[in-house]
Structure 1
Amino acid sequence: MQLHVANHPLIDHKMTILRDERTESPVFRSLVSELVNLLTYEASRDLHVEDVAITTPVTDMVGKHVSRPLPLAVPIIRAGLGMLDGFLQLMPHCEVGFVGMRRNEDTLQPETYAKRLPDDVSDRQCFVLDPMLATGGSLAATVEFLIEGGAKEITAICLVAAPEGVALMQERFPDDNVRIIVAALDEGLNEQGFIVPGLGDAGDRLYGAAE
């Protein structure tokens, strides 16, 4: 497992506004899209491409197109849905699957309530979208689903990560080709399993509590 913290002044600036408890949902959603744009640029550096012959207004040339089968984006709903638009703005040539996870507040373990993924992802580059890498349970379970489908290249894009979640991913996937791209690596988890300083519950800040 590889971890890449995308250090950049623009990311730091946007993350500070994102973390602020005074930032309202419309601004929060917009900032998430902007941050995912920047992180997707980093995450797609090794995107598979193939040669394609085209004609410009001046001459013939050989350019590049995204290879087929197309990459697969997998947002972990509900909070991961808030990252999807920002990802697709930069990577429109991509297909989308979904994994629905909720955290059991007693055990802090993930529970899967929905899954829609191709049966075979052995030839696809997979990008998992999950704002918060806290305990790591949801992300690890989703990565395992993809590995079971044959995935060999998996990149997770997260906004904030805790060392505990990173450690779990390293333990579960020491030799697998799994990368994690994050905007910030925070101090750790509190007793409730929330990232500190973090940014709160990403799903609630994106969409409201919806109780």
Structure 2
Amino acid sequence: MIVHHLGNENSLLQVFVDELRDKKVQKDSMRFRKNMERIGEILAYEFSKTTNYKPVNIETPLASTKAFKFTEQPVICSILRAGIALHNGILSYLDQADNAFISAYRKMHKNGIDFSIEVEYLSTPEIKDRILIIADPMLASGNSIWHVFETLTKNSTPKEIHIFAVVAAPEGIELLKNKLPENTHLWIAKIDQGLDKKSYIIPGLGDAGDLAYGEKL
């Protein structure tokens, strides 16, 4: 897997990540969602530098000139519900992309520590031979993204796979390196220290879905 760690340099990206982490700022759910969207826009912009373009002719008010457009549009698949704000940011830049949505959540076992990943809902266009972007703010153990990938590719094989995440743990990155095709790209804003005994990212930022949309039952 090819890892694009955008947090290696100081930039506005890190300002937005730091605000996502800050407990004082987290009290403003609208600002939390906006920062998620901003990060999605930055990840989409960086991704756009690596995709293919084709020349086209356009007419300005004064003359004909050469321009460039994507050779093909990707499919953006976000993991519900935490991925919605990130998805909106990606889509605001890749605004001609097709969209897919999938649910994946941790089903905790009785010991309160172990869990399994449940995938219950999927809505997607055809992804065969297309560029697939999987968007999820938190890459912790990596199991959610792995199960989502298995579900999406059960009957179709994408041409390219790109993972967009905000915060990741080294353990999750390692699992995806072992599970996903070698040419998979991970676009990540920040790689954190690791996981605690409940597989939460440290220092992380908490539950992205709850912070964006309110606590669930």
Measure how far apart 1:99 and its partner are.
1.0
Cα pair distance change 1:80/1:86, threshold 3 Å: same
Is 1:189 the counterpart of 2:192 in the alignment?
Answer: no
One-letter amino acid of the structure 1 residue matched with residue 21 of structure 2: R
1:130-172 residue CA offsets vs partner (Å, 9 max, x unmatched): 0000010111122233444110201111000001100100111
The one-letter amino acid of 1:96's match is N
Say if 2:162 and 2:184, in contact at 8 Å, map to a contact too: yes
**SS at 1:22 equivalent:** helix
- Matched residue, 2:36: 32
Q: Secondary structure at the match of 1:210?
A: coil
**What TM-score do the two structures reach when normalised by structure 1?**
0.92
Matched, 1:54 2:58: yes
Which deviates the most, 11-20 or 130-139? 11-20
- 2:193 is equivalent to residue 180 of structure 1: no
SS at match of 2:164: strand
Alignment correspondent of 1:3: 3
**Percent of aligned pairs sharing the same letter:** 32
Q: Choose the corresponding residue for 1:126, options 132, 140, 143.
A: 132
How many angstroms apart in 1 are the aligned matches of 2:129 and 2:178?
A: 25
The alpha carbon displacement at 1:174 in A equals 5.0
Please say if residues 74 and 131 of structure 2, whose CA atoms lie closer than 8 Å, have aligned partners that are also in contact: yes
Alpha-carbon distance in structure 2 between the residues aligned to 1:187 and 1:101:
24
**What are the within-5 Å matches in structure 2 for residues 23-102 of structure 1?**
23=25, 24=27, 25-68=29-72, 70-102=73-105
Separation (CA, whole Å) in 1 of partners of 2:65 and 2:11: 37
Query: Offset of 1:58 from its aligned partner?
Result: 2.7
Structure 1 residues not aligned, in runs of 5+ = none
Q: Within 5 Å, which residues of 2 pair with 1:103-182?
A: 103-106=106-109, 107-118=114-125, 120-148=126-154, 149-175=156-182, 177-182=183-188
Q: Distance in 2 between matches of 1:59 and 1:26?
A: 43
> How much is the aligned-residue C-alpha RMSD, in angstroms?
1.5
- Given that 1:50 and 1:66 are in contact with CA atoms closer than 8 Å, whether structure 2 keeps it comes out as yes
Secondary structure in structure 2 of the residue aligned to 1:150: coil
CA contact (8 A) 1:108 1:193 kept: no
Counterpart check, 1:16 vs 2:15: no
CA contact (8 A) 1:143 1:154 kept: no
Deviates most, 92-101 or 36-45: 36-45
Shift of 1:50: 2.2
Measured after TM superposition, the shift of residue 67 of structure 1 is 2.7
